[in-house]
Structure 1
Amino acid sequence: MAFQPILDASHEEIYAHEALVRGMNGESAGKILGQVTEKNRYWFDQQCRVKAIELAAQLGLGPKQRLSINFLPNAVYQPTACIRMTVETARKVGLPLDRIIFEVTEGEQVVEHDKLVAIIRAYKEFGLLTAIDDFGAGYSGLNLLADFQPDIIKLDMALTRNIDSDRVRRSIVAGILTVCRELDIMVIAEGIETPEEYATLREMGVRHFQGYLFARPVFRDFAREIVFPGV
C-alpha cells in the first residue's frame, strides 16, 4: 500500500489517508489490478482491506484522521458476510468503524445496480462512511445519487482540471456542489495540481482536497510534509 492524504483546507489538517494499491516493490496499481481475475477477486479485495487497516494502525493514524479504502463491488457476494473480516481487523487494531471510508468508483462496472445500493446501505448500517470516487467521470453521474446517498463524493480530475480557466467546468461543479449541499454530502476535489485550481474551488466553497499540489502518495508510509497554498 501507498497512502495519500485527503486534506481539510479550512483547518489546514489531514482529514483522511487514502490507501492505494501497490506491488511489494512499489509496482503501480494498474499493474497489480491487471492481475485480478474472477477467481481471485474476493481474496484480493479482502486482503487489501486488512492490509490497509493494519498498516495504517502501524504507521500511527491520527486520533481524528480517517482511513479511506477502495473496494471492488463485484467481489462482494453478500455485504454483511464480506464486511466481517474488515470489522474484526478494525476492532483488533482499535480503529472505530466510523473512521473508515469505503470508496467505490463511479465507473465501476457493477453487474447489478441494486447490488451496489445494497452494499452501500449495509456499510452505512455498520457505521462505515461511504464515498463515490471519480464522480463525474463514469457513465452514471447524478443517477447514482437518486438511488442512494453516500456520505462523500470525490470530484474527478476531469472536472477539476484547469477549472480556474474553464467556465463550463465551473458551472458543472457549481451545480454538483448545490446538489450535495441539499443532500448533506461532503465533496472532496481530487487530482488538484495547481494553486489556481485550488483557489477557484475554495472560492466555490470546497473544503476538502486531494492531489499532487499538497502531497504525493508515499509507499508504506504517510505523507509527513503537507503544502497548503495561500488563497
Structure 2
Amino acid sequence: MECSAAKTCACENVKRCQAGEVGRLFLWFPVPHTLAKVTPFLKKERFGFELMQERPGLGVDCRFGQAQEIARHLANLVAPRELKETQVLFVRGAVQPQIEDFSDMASLQRFIAFSQSDWLVDMLGQSRFTSHFQPIVSIQDTSQIYGYESLLRGLDDQGNLVMPGSIFAQAAEAGLLPQVDRAARLSAIAQASQHHITQRIFINFTPTALYDPVSCLRSTVAAIDQVGIRHEQVVFEVVESDNPQDLEHLKTVLKYYREAGFAVALDDLGSGYSGLNLLHQLRPDFIKLDMELIRNVHQDLYKASITEKLLEIAQKLDIQTVAEGIECIEELNWLQQRGATFAQGYLIGKPSATPVASTPRFDSGAVAIA
C-alpha cells in the first residue's frame, strides 16, 4: 500500500497516496460479523474479491480510483470501532503483498483520511508554511517583551492563509503529524531568524509525532545551529491536552531537549485531566495556563480557585508561568495581583507575520480587582 501510516514514515518522507491506481485492496476485519456486513455490498456492486482462509478478510481487485471508492462505501457499513480496527493494505498491480509491504498497513479510517489529503501532501511537498508570532510580556510591565510564541500557518495554492486547526486535524487523521510537526518547527526557526528575534522563541511540538527523539529532532537542532540561534533562547512547548500514554517516551524527548540546552514549557495547563501529574513527572521550566482557565477568571470562583492554586504551586517550585488568552484588563489585573510571571493574549498583541516591536503598558491599578 502506498498510503503509509505515520508511524512507518520518516518525518522528512512525504508522498502522495497511490491508492487511485490499479491494484488489490486487502482488508482484515476484527470479527467475522464485520466481514458479513461487507460482502453483500461487494457482490451487489460486482467487485471481484477473494476471501482469506485464516482470518476474516478479503482481497478486492481494483481499477483506477476504485480502492478509495470501496473504502468510503465500507466506512458507511461498519461501526466506528470496526472502522478503526479494520486493517487495510493497498498493493499496486495484481500481486500478493510481500513481507515488506505490511509495514504500510493502516486502519480503514486512516486509509480514507490519507486518500483525501492531497492538499496537505502538496503543502508539505512544496513547503507552503509560514509562522506568525504572538508576544509574551512581563505581567508587571506589559511593555517589556520577553519572547514570542511561534504559531503555524499554511498557504494554499493561491497563497491564502490556512489556519492550523484544519492542518493539524487532517494530519492527525491521515497519519501526517510527524511531517507537519517538523514543518512547523523548521518554519518557526527560519522565520525567527529572518526577523532577527533576540528574545525567547516558544515553539510547539507534538510528543506523539516524535518516535525517535534523536533522529526526529536532528534536523531541528541543525536548523537552529545553521541560523545561529542560541539554544538557551529556545523554549519547546509540549501540549498538556495530548495526554501522552507513553510518559517515558515524553521524558526521553524532553531529556534530549534539555541536554541540548533548550528550555521546556508545559502548555495549556488546566485544559486536560493529567496536568498536575505531568507537572510532577516532567518538571518544566515554564507552565502556560490554558486560555479557557484564564477567561473571566476574575468573575468565576471555580476558575479563580484553581488558577490561584496553580500559581502558588509554580511559585513554590520556582517555575515561571505564562497566562495565555488574556483579553481584558480585569483578567490581567487579577493575574498581576496573584503573581503570574508573563502575559500573552489579544489584549497584549495578536499573532502577526512580523513580530511586533512594542506592546502597550497597562496601569495595574486602573481597574478595581474583585
For the pair 1:140 / 2:271, whether they are aligned, the reply is: no
Matched, 1:171 2:305: yes
Which amino acid in structure 1 is aligned with residue 148 of structure 2? H
In structure 1, the residue matched to 2:363 is: 230
Q: Deviations over 1:48-102 (max 9, x none)?
A: 111110111101202xx01111111111112222221111111111101111111
Structure 2 portions without partners, runs of 5+ = 1-130, 365-370
Aligned partner of 2:153 in structure 1 is 22
User: Is 1:50 the counterpart of 2:180 in the alignment?
Assistant: no
Letter of the 1:229 counterpart: F
Question: CA-to-partner distance for each residue in 1:170-228, whole Å, 9 max, x for gaps?
Answer: 2211211121122211100000000000001000011201000010011x311244222
1:137-216 → structure 2 map (5 Å cutoff): 137-216=271-350
Q: Deviations over 1:138-184 (max 9, x none)?
A: 12120111212011110012221111122332221121112112221
Question: Which has the higher relative contact order, 1 or 2, with Cα contacts under 8 A spaced 6 or more apart?
Answer: 1
- Give 1:193's aligned amino acid: E
CA displacement at 1:9 relative to structure 2? 3.0
Separation in 2 of the partners of 1:114 and 1:182?
A: 25
Q: CA contact under 8 A between 1:120 and 1:150: conserved in structure 2?
A: no
Which residue identity does 1:8 align to in structure 2? S
Equivalents in 1 of 2:175, 2:292: separation in Å?
33
The CA distance in 1 between the partners of 2:317 and 2:333, in whole Å, is 25
Q: CA deviation at 1:109?
A: 4.1
> Which secondary structure state, in structure 1, belongs to the residue aligned with residue 313 of structure 2?
helix
Letter in 1 for 2:153: R
2:134 is matched with which residue? Answer: 4
TM-superposed CA distance for 1:34, in Å, is 2.2
Q: TM-score, normalised by structure 2?
A: 0.59
1:66 maps to which residue? 200
Question: Residue 19 and residue 166 in structure 1: after superposition, are their counterparts in 2 closer, same or farther (change >3 A)?
Answer: same
> Which residue type is aligned with residue 188 of structure 1?
V
Secondary structure of the 1:164 match is coil
Alpha-carbon distance in structure 2 between the residues aligned to 1:79 and 1:207 = 30
Number of equivalent positions: 228
SS at match of 1:191: coil
Structure 2 residue aligned with 1:31, among 150, 166, 172? 166
Q: Which amino acid aligns with 1:132?
A: L
Paired-residue identity, %: 38
Q: Secondary structure at the match of 2:149?
A: strand
**Which runs of 5 or more structure 1 residues have no equivalent in the other structure?**
none
Secondary structure in 2 matching 1:227 = coil
Say whether 1:110 aligns with 2:244.
yes
CA contact (8 A) 2:168 2:180 kept: no
TM-score after normalising by structure 1? 0.93
Q: For residues 300 and 343 of structure 2, what CA distance do their matches in structure 1 show?
A: 19
1:13 is aligned to 2:147:
no
Question: What is the CA-CA distance between 1:125 and the residue it aligns to?
Answer: 1.4
Alpha-carbon RMSD: 1.5
